[in-house]
Amino acid sequence: MAERTPLPVVALISGSGSNLQALIDAQLRGAPIRIAAVISNRADAFGLERARRHDIPTEVLSHRDYGDREGFDAALGDLIDRFAPGLVVLAGFMRILTEGFVDRYQGRMMNIHPSLLPKYRGLHTHQRALDAGETEHGASVHFVTAELDGGPVILQARVPVLPGDDAAALAARVLEREHRIYPTAVRWFAEGRLRLGEDGRPHLDGTPLRAPCLLDDLDARESEAAI
Would you call 113 a catalytic residue per the annotation?
A: yes
Instruction: Provide the 8-state DSSP code for 1.
Output: -
Per-residue string for binding with ligand GAR, 30-59, x by CB under 6 A? -----------------x------------
The length of the chain in residues reads 227
Among 42, 104, 108, 113, which residue sits at the site for ligand GAR (rule: CB under 6 A)?
113
Contact yes or no for 35/19 (Cβ under 8 A): no
Distance CA(42)–CA(61), nearest Å, equals 7
Q: Cis link prior to 118 (omega < 30° from 0)?
A: yes
Nearest CB to ligand GAR, comparing residues 112 and 196: 112
Q: Is 223 annotated as a binding residue?
A: no
Nearest CB to ligand GAR, comparing residues 113 and 187: 113
Is position 17 an interface residue for ligand GAR (rule: CB under 6 A)?
yes
Amino acid (1-letter code) at residue 48: L
Q: Is 35 annotated as a binding residue?
A: no
Count of residues in contact with ligand GAR, rule CB under 6 A:
15
Give bridge partners of residue 112 from the DSSP assignment.
141
Is position 127 an interface residue for ligand GAR (rule: CB under 6 A)?
no
Among 8, 15, 77, 197, which residue sits at the site for ligand GAR (rule: CB under 6 A)?
15
Instruction: Provide the 8-state DSSP code for 91.
Output: S
Q: Is 86 left (phi over 0), alpha (psi -120 to 50) or beta?
A: alpha
Distance CA(168)–CA(126), nearest Å, equals 8
- Tell me which residues touch ligand GAR (CB under 6 A): 13, 15-19, 47, 91-92, 112-114, 149, 175, 178
Annotated binding site: 17-19, 69, 94-97, 111
Annotated binding site for (6R)-10-formyltetrahydrofolate: 69, 94-97, 111
